[in-house]
Amino acid sequence: MIDWLGAASISAVARLLDLSWDQVSGVMERAVQRGLKRRGAAEASRVLGVDETSFQKRHEYVTVVADIEGEPRGHHVADGRGKDALSSYYESLSEAERSRIETVAMDMWPAYISATVSCLPDGWEKIAYDKFHVAAHLGDAVDTVRREEHRLLQGRGDESLAGTRHLWLYHPDNVPESRLPCLEELIRGTSKTARCWHLKEVAMMMWETRDRAEAREIFEGWYSWAIRSRLEPMKKVAKTIKSHLDGILNAIERGVTNASLEGINSVIQWLKKSARGYRNRDRFRNAIYFHLGGLDLYPDSLTFHTKP
């Protein structure tokens, strides 16, 4: 049954084995309990990723902590995305385990920052802000400028920015070949959106090096340009990056991102969809640990039964 559950939903396994949903769910729950009990101190990690994922409604979340060194494994699932959701994980570790943690990759969510600084020795030095979260802030600034400029141009009968939203957000290497001439023409122009796009691309050049001093030098030149750009959304992002620069430089220097944790979140969303949504948080947590915890799930001894 554990093998079946690794490949199919609880409902499907119950139907195929002619068992109730509760019976199959109970097997999953006991397997997770065994695995968590066996995991113990040997699982202390050096590099962690922290992120939130939606539980049911739009503003309901669970916090997921994963070991992202090597094959990612979910270590902790807690309700909400407040400080306690992450602190509860740190507090479950011994002092030696907490000292072993070298890097915690996260976004710039204040609750996660506060928990890490409060609970880990030299917590500030261990925070690494995720590259893709910074890129999302930069992309949002470009889109805000585009929307404002598009409204002004439309009022003059100019539709040059119509239908271009996604073009500005692509990584240059991922632009569809059929749309590349359009983007090239747009970025050669003098629009505010084009200037904002160039600022976004130059900011991402920080990640082309692993040298901390070089990345800082790129940032300082970029920051001066961004602040003088007269593009308020990008100026706001520039100030946000500056106030979180040490954590960004930690991520660059150590080559750490939350990309593998995004993969875990994709599986979590698949689990939620295949179950048609979880109404019970405990069962949702069990499913995450079962599929993503890297746990030893099997009983110590196996007894085979046949139906009468």
Contacts of 57 (CB under 8 A, 6+ apart): none
Q: What is the pLDDT of residue 186?
A: 92
Distances (CA, A) of 89 to 77, 147, 188: 9, 41, 50
pTM of the entire predicted model: 0.84
Going by CATH, does the domain composed of 43-129+257-292 fall within 3.20.20.140? no
Pick out the chain residues at pLDDT < 50.
42
Q: What is the pLDDT of residue 156?
A: 93
The 3-state secondary structure of the chain reads: CHHHHCCCCHHHHHHHHCCCHHHHHHHHHHHHHHHHHHHCHHHCCCEEEEEEEECCCCCCEEEEEEECCCCCEEEEEEECCCHHHHHHHHHCCCHHHHHHCCEEEECCCHHHHHHHHHHCCCHHHHEEECHHHHHHHHHHHHHHHHHHHHHHHHHCCCCCCCCCHHHHHCCHHHCCHHHHHHHHHHHCCCCHHHHHHHHHHHHHHHHHCCCHHHHHHHHHHHHHHHHCCCCHHHHHHHHHHHHCHHHHHHHHHHCCCCHHHHHHHHHHHHHHHHCCCCCCHHHHHHHHHHHHCCCCCCCCCCCCCCCC
Place of tokens 């890129």: 135
Tell me the per-residue pLDDT of 4-28, one tens digit each, with 9 for 90 and over: 998 888 888 999 999 998 899 899 9
Q: What is the pLDDT of residue 279?
A: 62
| Degrees, nearest 5: CA angle 214-218-222 | 170
